[in-house]
Copies of this chain bind each other. A is one copy, B any other.
């Protein structure tokens, strides 16, 4: 390994001089600067970042904690985060927890010991005990939460307006004449599920409808959940004419359920998703959904993390992005309902 020392020797200067030209700090005469630069090139010297990290107490690394990168939503999110981090000269360490809090605790610990400059959480759990705990002892450290909230905790948060998006989705269905609208959400302890459920119920109420318990299902933000719960809903004697899936993956599951039951989308069943992930355009018919501005959110998140780590910002902020309705072909005017008999 070629070190600053070798460079110093070759350039015939002291190591501090080498350090100075390397960092462009302090004064250096053009002459020595050239000598050093030359030596650096000759030796193909590369500054060892772990040594620097030790002194400066910054590693140019961010931790990203998510449930599972295989989930397409997190794939998109992670990509956006990594891009932005890279823009700032940062790397990201990826951690998949499967929503396992013990696993998460281990990751947090490990990341902290490795001296990452910030940790971004994009985990759904509203009562994440790890976050609640760590925030107590490290309130100064850049922990940012993206796409969710943890109750009773002061934290930088970057969110999409779940309630609003959900309200829009439900309203879209309502405007198409649907009265029996099912809802399939993620985990009951997930912030976004709960907000989306509220938006749904609120839209229903505002249009004079009551939300019907039996048309509401919560499970996971995954395809099989959409399939199972979709099947349940669609097997009901008073089955909904429309389903609001709290994310696109659930919607995909609903598609599968509908197909098996020979229910046509959108003729006999309107489906709307949430996220506007890759799925939305793959499926047939293309999925109407609520777009989450994930790239913008990720960018803001990284900025927040890096800025906080640099300056030691002493306040927490919540940034909320607005979602938007993307109409495709999975929703349509409600059909005349034939009486089930």
Contacts and interface: CB of A to CB of B under 8 A. Distances in A.
Contact of A91 (B75, B110, B252): B110
A96 interface: yes
A157 interface: no
A13 interface: no
A161 interface: no
A278 B59 CA distance: 35
Given A75-B69, A75-B75, A259-B284, A50 B91 contact: no
A76 B82 contact: no
A48 B110 CA distance: 10
Nearest to A54: B50
A47 interface: yes
Interface residues of A, number: 48
B69 A72 contact: no
A280 B53 CA distance: 45
B83 A96 contact: yes
A91 B95 contact: yes
Interface stretch (A111-119, A204-212, A314-322): A111-119
A223 interface: yes
A70 B61 contact: no
A292 to B, nearest CB: 15
A70 B76 contact: yes
A69 B79 contact: yes
A168 to B, nearest CB: 25
Contact of A50 (B53, B94, B283): B53
A279 to B, nearest CB: 8
Q: How many copies does the complex hold?
A: 2
Interface in A27-72: 44, 46-51, 53-54, 59-61, 68-72
A92 interface: yes
Interface string A235-277: 0000000000000000010011001000000000000000000
A49 B113 contact: yes
Given A112-B46, A282-B223, A284-B284, A82 B69 contact: yes
B96 A93 contact: no
Nearest to A277: B70
A109 interface: yes
A244 to B, nearest CB: 20
Nearest to A64: B94
Given A50-B53, A50-B54, A69-B69, 14 more contacts: A44-B137, A46-B109, A49-B113, A50-B59, A50-B115, A54-B54, A68-B79, A69-B75, A70-B72, A70-B278, A72-B72, A72-B278, A93-B93, A255-B284
15 contacts: A44-B137, A48-B113, A49-B114, A69-B75, A69-B78, A70-B76, A72-B75, A86-B95, A91-B114, A92-B94, A93-B93, A93-B94, A223-B282, A282-B282, A282-B283
